[in-house]
Every structure is written in structure tokens, then in C-alpha cells.
Chains A and B, each alone.
Chain A
Amino acid sequence: MEPLSDRWVAALQACRPTDCDLDQARSVILARARQEEPTAGRRSRPKRRWIVAGGVIALGASLAGTAQLVTAGEDSSGVTPDGTRLGQIISAHTSSAQKWGVRVTGQHEHCIESWQGNGGGGVCSADWTTPHPHPTMSVSAWQERGGGPPSRSVGLATVIAPAGRAVEVVSYLEAQPTTIPIEDLPGVHHGAATIQGVDFDVWGFVAPYHFEDEGEPPQPPTFTVRFAPR
């Protein structure tokens, strides 16, 4: 058998990535494992109990930082015969005049652009071109140190999805340290909006985020969300 030359064997070996985000991967894997557990008996779905109607628009206005998941549209992006979707777009922006950070990472996009806001707003986006029935993404928004006086803040993620397409939290990485009991926060909100004539469902996820002005701020709360199964 002709051997494969050392050059190409080395090239194959070089395919092992060195930039895997193990924390992110672990969170997705564990979330999927939980989602796929047999449903015999009572299934614990703590995030769902927070879902209440309305309120997200006012909430968004008062907290100013948002991260959005916008789809390119069911029609334009195409739906494959097995029901998976192609061509979704993640978009995140901030509109606050203060310093806000937004980070969006996705598991199914080809292109990830991280962006951190510094007033005035901005956008990061990525195309989702891999068919997947339940794409997940992680979103977080937080007020950066130096962007305002409060040492007590919240993390907020707003997800905009096509009307009728529910979004659910599959994992939540809590910021440390936190001083606001999660029970005291609104948690998950659900509302609706019409943007440029298109109906969307709007989902807001809120979590405590506390840090002092001294020292490095902790990692902000991060929600991993996905479209709920149809």
C-alpha cells in the first residue's frame, strides 16, 4: 500500500482544533442531554415556570441593553424537506448611550463576530447555514465596568423569533457573584412585536449580575437558547 506522505499526515493531524470552547460545549451537551431525557415521571423544567405574558418591551427600554436573534425569514431562508432550516441570521446590538457589552455565540453558525458595544449601538451577526432542527445560541448583555455608577446590574438577553416560534432556555450560566435572588427578578418574559410589518415573538431573559467597581468584572450571565421543537 502506498503510504500517505508525512506532509499530508501532518496536515490531517493539524485538523485538530486548538480553540475549542470547552465550557460552551459542555453547557450545550449537558443541555441536550437534559432535553433528551426520558419523560417518564415528572420532568423538571424550572425555566418554564418563569414564563409570563407581556412586559418585555418596557423591560428592554428600562434596561437598555439587548441581544437579538433575528431570522432571515422562514420563506427566504428555505425549509428543507425534513423540517430543518437554512440561512438564519443572528444579530445582536446595543442601543444604549452607556457602555454595554453584547456577546453572541452560536453553535450552528459559520461565522461568528463578537462585538462589544461602547455606546451608540452596533451589530454583530452571523449566518446560520447549517441545517439543524433546533439551533442553539448563547446570548448575554451586560453593563461594563466604568459604564455607569451602579455596582449592581442585571444581564439581559432579548430574543426575537418568528411569530409562533417559541424560544426556550436550555442552559443558563449564572454570573458570580450575585447578590440579587433570582426569584426576585422577572425571569423570562414573552411578548409580541411587529417590526416593519412582520410579526415576531419576543422573549426576554433576565438574570442578576453584580460586580463592584474595583477589579475585573465577572463573566456576565449567559443564556443558551434555542427554538423550541415545533
Chain B
Amino acid sequence: MTSTAARQDEVVRVQEPVAELLFRERYAEMVGLAVVLLSDRTAAEDVVQDAYTALFRHEASMTDQQSAAGYLVRSVVNGCRSFQRRKRTAERYAPPAPTSEASAEAAASARRDALRVVEAMQRLPDRQRIAVACHHYLGLDRSETAEVMGISVNSVKTHLRRGIRTLAQQLEEEV
């Protein structure tokens, strides 16, 4: 790309609303993050759409794309945690839906490894699961993960170490 073209591209990118840019470029990635955390595609889309709803509403206060992206990731992670809490409450009052298992099985035939790792992720404690997802799915480093989770870098290291150890044990046992 020529420097002129690059500048034009940059101008276009600067002019594009940050929420719209993040929606177009990262929506699917955010859905994947929520799928990893929730093991439920429908719920994942719901949570991610709520996060984007908040992003669109607060777009005016976003100073740059990086801070908006951070806000988005935190919204998705927090939305997933809230959903898990509501789901646990709901499951105490209603039997699990049979169609969830059926659709999960259908997905397994297409992406068996992905399903297995997501299922194994669900057995991790919340913080370990989020740390592993941020680090290994989103590719955030430890300090960025700490920022998303609102905890110290050392705590992130601890959650990552324990989460990966448990995850590896579970997955190796299943192989």
C-alpha cells in the first residue's frame, strides 16, 4: 500500500465511529469469547449484543479505540459472569433444557476439539476460566488480562497457572 493510500485508509478509519469499527472487526471474536466462557452460542450472542448496546450508548465518552476495546471486553466478560449467575439461579428452579444438549452434540460433530475444550473450560472456577480465555483466546498479555479482570498481574498468573493445569489434566484424561 502506498503511503498516500495508507494515509487515506487511516483517515477513513479515524472518521469511522469507533463502536461501528469495533462491531465490524470484533463482533465475531467477542461472540467466540462468550462461547468459550458460557458454552452457549445463543447466550453468547445475547451477552455480546448487550455489550455492544452499552458501547453504542457510551460511544461519545470513548476517547480512543483502545479504551473502547477494553470497555467492550470487560462488558462481555462481566456480562458472561452475570449470565452464569442468573443461569445457576434458574437451574435451581428448572430442569436443563434438552435442546441445549442436542445442539451441543450437533456442534461437536463439526468441531469436536473446540467443544471439548469449551466443556472443560466450564468446569474451571470463574476467574480461572476468564483468565485462560483472555490470555489464550483473545491473546491478551497478563497485564491486559489483569486490567480486564480488575485484579493484579500476580493474581492473573496464579489463575492462569491453576486453570491451565486443570484444563490440561482434564483434556489429557479424556484423550
Interface residues of A (CB under 8 A from B): 1-5, 7-18, 20, 22, 25-26, 28-30, 32-33, 36-37, 78, 80-82, 84, 86-87, 107-111, 127, 129-132
Contacts and interface: CB of A to CB of B under 8 A. Distances in A.
Interface string B40-73: 1111011011101100110000000000000000
Nearest to B53: A32
Nearest to A127: B99
B41 A1 contact: no
A36 B57 contact: yes
Given A4-B136, A25-B52, 5 more contacts: A15-B35, A16-B32, A17-B41, A129-B97, A132-B46
A20 B133 contact: no
Interface in B23-46: 23-24, 27-29, 31-33, 35-36, 40-43, 45-46
Interface in B89-145: 89-90, 93-94, 97, 99-100, 102-103, 111, 113-114, 116-118, 132-133, 136-137
A71 to B, nearest CB: 15
A224 to B, nearest CB: 12
Nearest to B24: A22
Contact of B99 (A12, A22, A110): A110
B49 A107 contact: yes
A132 to B, nearest CB: 6
A17 B44 CA distance: 11
Going nearest first, the 4 A-B pairs with the smallest beta carbon separation are A129-B97, A16-B32, A11-B113, A32-B53
Task: Name A's interface SS.
Answer: loop
B87 interface: yes
Interface residues of B, number: 52
A209 to B, nearest CB: 27
B114 A4 contact: no
A110 B168 contact: no
28 contacts: A2-B161, A8-B117, A11-B113, A12-B36, A12-B117, A12-B133, A14-B111, A14-B113, A15-B35, A16-B28, A17-B32, A22-B24, A25-B45, A26-B23, A32-B49, A32-B53, A36-B53, A36-B57, A80-B89, A80-B94, A84-B90, A86-B97, A87-B94, A107-B42, A109-B42, A129-B99, A129-B100, A130-B42
A33 B53 contact: yes
B77 interface: no
